[in-house]
Chain A
């Protein structure tokens, strides 16, 4: 249960922190891992929240996809682990229900 391999949650859980920066929901966007090329919803990434800030890793190869650190008066975001993020705008316009 406390095994280190299980220290992560889903990318879902970063929705609130990412909403500080982006107007669209990044967790439903498809992102391509810059290391292995896998393309998955960001919600499916493995999210590590025990560190200072948040680190998302690829669910396939565990390489870092995103790093997000909030400090007083500044938010630092590193997206170099993803080659792109693709947003479905039809779903966004649908809003709720």
Chain B
């Protein structure tokens, strides 16, 4: 179950977030939305494990990408985002979790709602859709602190430009770009109304972010008529190292 991966590339997404590309011999392949557990073991035998979503689309080359946000008090994320270098080995278990996944044979409309680093597993779904040439209509509502905290901005822009069935709406919570149509604030009912698929379309919704964000966003979806059965969530705690 545990694999020994090797770091083959590092890329900073934001000032506090890094994407790690790993080559994992024997990797069985994954489904978009799945996660891995990463284990660090100190020289004295002490070990700590955390779960991180896979950011990359499923592929056949045995490579996966993890995008990890550094949490100041984290036990694992500071090492992964600051000290790990190309060529280093990394122990991981996975792919894990068959519920919060999007499969390339799904054809229904998809509503993705991300809070901060909750974008990571949703990005794997977006990438998986593009790679497979799937034409299911996708909408992403991405709540993020400020423009500088957006992950994958250029790639999201390119994907939504070349594909009219793929749209992205940003909801800035603390600072928005100049002349942005909406003042900074959390996702609310009006934004769900204007930016998300209507419930009458029966989209499957995937919501990922901190627990409080997911509670709020899933609640707004239900209040606007979406069936709880069509909403899949992935929460991570405010102090956990998750994602």
Asked if residues A9 and B242 are in contact (CB atoms below 8 Å), the reply is yes
Q: How far is the CB of A38 from chain B (nearest CB, A)?
A: 12
A1-B210, A6-B237, A15-B96 known; 18 other A-B pairs, CB under 8 Å?
Answer: A6-B211, A6-B238, A9-B237, A9-B240, A12-B35, A12-B99, A13-B35, A16-B37, A16-B96, A25-B97, A41-B99, A49-B240, A96-B29, A96-B30, A96-B31, A97-B31, A97-B58, A97-B103
Question: In the bound complex, what is the Cα–Cα distance between A7 and B236 (angstroms)?
Answer: 9
Judge if A89 is at the interface, Cβ distance under 8 Å.
no
Asked if residues B58 and A91 are in contact (CB atoms below 8 Å), the reply is no
Judge if B199 is at the interface, Cβ distance under 8 Å.
no
Q: Give A32-56 interface residues, CB cut-off 8 Å to B.
A: 41, 43-44, 49-50
Judge if A93 is at the interface, Cβ distance under 8 Å.
no
For A92, the closest partner residue in chain B by CB is: B98
Question: In the bound complex, what is the Cα–Cα distance between A10 and B236 (angstroms)?
Answer: 8
Binding site for B on A (CB under 8 A): 1-3, 6-13, 15-16, 19-20, 25, 27-28, 41, 43-44, 49-50, 91, 96-97
Judge if B85 is at the interface, Cβ distance under 8 Å.
no
Question: Which A residues are in CB contact (< 8 Å) with B31?
Answer: 96-97
The 8 closest A-B pairs by CB, nearest first: A43-B99, A15-B96, A16-B37, A28-B98, A15-B97, A6-B211, A25-B98, A96-B29
Binding site for A on B (CB under 8 A): 1, 28-31, 35-37, 49, 51, 58, 93-94, 96-100, 103-105, 210-212, 215, 232-240, 242
For B128, the closest partner residue in chain A by CB is: A97
Asked if residues B212 and A6 are in contact (CB atoms below 8 Å), the reply is yes
Question: Which A residues are in CB contact (< 8 Å) with B237?
Answer: 6-9, 49-50
Name which of B93, B99, B212 has the most chain A CB atoms within 10 A of its CB.
B99
Question: In the bound complex, what is the Cα–Cα distance between A2 and B104 (angstroms)?
Answer: 37
Asked if residues B96 and A19 are in contact (CB atoms below 8 Å), the reply is yes
Question: Which B residues are in CB contact (< 8 Å) with A11?
Answer: 99
Asked if residues B98 and A27 are in contact (CB atoms below 8 Å), the reply is yes
Asked if residues B51 and A13 are in contact (CB atoms below 8 Å), the reply is yes
Question: In the bound complex, what is the Cα–Cα distance between A91 and B29 (angstroms)?
Answer: 16
Q: How far is the CB of B45 from chain A (nearest CB, A)?
A: 11
